Structure formats: structure tokens, C-alpha cells
Structure 1
């Protein structure tokens, strides 16, 4: 594996973690949303990663990562008894989204750390390549 493939691998991971952070942000923004007129509430979304071949040339390539799918959690939403709420059903219950704020915060921290680690890998690879060029000039 060449040093340049490190940028492809880390770049694919950074891009995937960025998408994961966007999904987490969307989930957190909809933590307390209630069901609309159709009776369905926002459903939490999760990112599914898949190994991908990056930088493939002449049967040489490296494994990277890509987002293969974004799935919706099919768990039922939180139901709260509030008969005076405008969105309450016939029994007086309001259906909120099924997003768990604590799980989403943990997911956000994990994605953020993965993102930062891959940026650091690219920075280290850049530094090593620059040192290699400086050795060649001596």
C-alpha cells in the first residue's frame, strides 16, 4: 500500500463519519417532535457502514468505508397522556418520536472521535511525506 492510499482510506472514513454526524444531528433535532396529522411520528435514523474498495488500480486497492444505507428505527414512539394537547389521539395520548437523546449523544461523541482520528491520520501521513521529500533534498 502506498502512502497516497492512506489519504483515500481516511478520506472515505471522514466522509462517512460526516454523514453519520448529520444523521445524529437530525435525530437530536427531532427528539421532542410529535406525530403529524397522519399519526406517524419521526423515526430515529441510523447509518449502516460497508467496506468499500478505494483507489483500485490494476487489482491493487485498499479497503475503505462508505455509507451503504440509512435505516429507520421501527420501534414505536413514546406515548404521553396529555388530553389537552392539540395532537392528542382519541384516547388522549400524544405520540412523540422514538429518538433516545442519550443514545444519540453517545453516537455523536463516537462519530466525532472517529472523524478526528481520521483527520489526525491524514495529518501524520502528510507530515511523513513532507519529511521524506526533505530527506531527498539533502
Structure 2
């Protein structure tokens, strides 16, 4: 009985690791949302995205998830008219990162919920293994 439970815990652990990386990338995006280049013409920070990939776990025989790729969002930078800014071009426009706080917060919420769901699976599997051991002792 505990073998499938341990396998479930291992699969959930892959989800924890993947969502943890996703939350780190989202935090990085949010931290750089207002960063610009140092001089005119410099490219601003480019939003990063995370893709997942299903993998077969050879130890448990179950599937898990891992980070497939961390890539840059191809959306154009946000341009604002700020003639006094050090990164302003000759027309007074500054390029800001293609990061939307609303999108990042929604992604963070989703990643957090997925993380919590995987954590709950691990807790429940651990509890069931403990109950099984207690029954066998009994």
C-alpha cells in the first residue's frame, strides 16, 4: 500500500520543484518591471516565461513534471514619453520591460495554488503511510 503512496509523493515533489522555479521567475519579472537601460537605446529587461515538460520517473514509474524551458517573452517593450530620463532616446521615449503586474500576479497566484496542491498530496501520502504503519503495529 505504501509503494503507490510514496510514488504519489515523488510525483508531487516534482510539481513542488517546478512551481518553485516558476514563482522565482515571476518574482524576477516583477522585480525588474520598472528597470530600463542605463543609456538611450539600451534594451530593457525582457519578461521571462516558464514551460513545463512531463517526464517519466524511473524510480516510481509515475509521471512527473520538470521545467522544460525558460525563455523570453517576445512582446515588444512598453514605450513611455519621459524626455528627462537618462535612457530616453532622441525623441524623449524610454523603453520599459514588457512586464504586466496584473499578469504576473495572476501567474503567481496560479503557481502558488499548484504548489499548495502538491504539498497537500505529500502531506496526505505521509499521513496515510503513518496510519498504515500504526495499523501494522496494532
Q: CA deviation at 1:34?
A: 1.1
Are the aligned partners of 1:35 and 1:97 in contact in 2 as well (CA < 8 Å)? no
1:26 and 2:28 aligned: yes
Question: Scaled by the length of structure 2, what TM-score is found?
Answer: 0.93
| Structure 1 Cα separation of the partners of residues 84 and 122 of structure 2 | 55
Superposed CA RMSD: 1.3
Deviation of 1:36 after TM superposition, in Å, equals 3.6
TM superposition shift of 1:35: 2.5
Deviation at 1:7, TM superposition (A): 1.5
Partner of 1:133: 133
Distance 1:98 1:111 in 2: 20
SS of equivalent residue, structure 1 residue 2: helix
Q: Deviations over 1:72-105 (max 9, x none)?
A: 0111111011111111001110100000110000
Structure 2 gap segments, 5+ residues each: none
Aligned length: 135
Q: Secondary structure at the match of 2:107?
A: helix
Indicate whether 1:6 and 2:15 are aligned.
no
Match of 1:78 in 2: 78
Task: Give the SS at the match of 1:70.
Answer: strand
State the 4+ residue runs in structure 1 displaced beyond 6 angstroms. Answer: none
User: TM-score scaled to structure 1, two decimals?
Assistant: 0.93
Contact 2:36 2:95 in 1 (8 A): yes
Alpha-carbon distance between aligned partners in 2 of 1:43 and 1:136, rounded to the nearest angstrom: 56
1:46 aligns with 2:49: yes
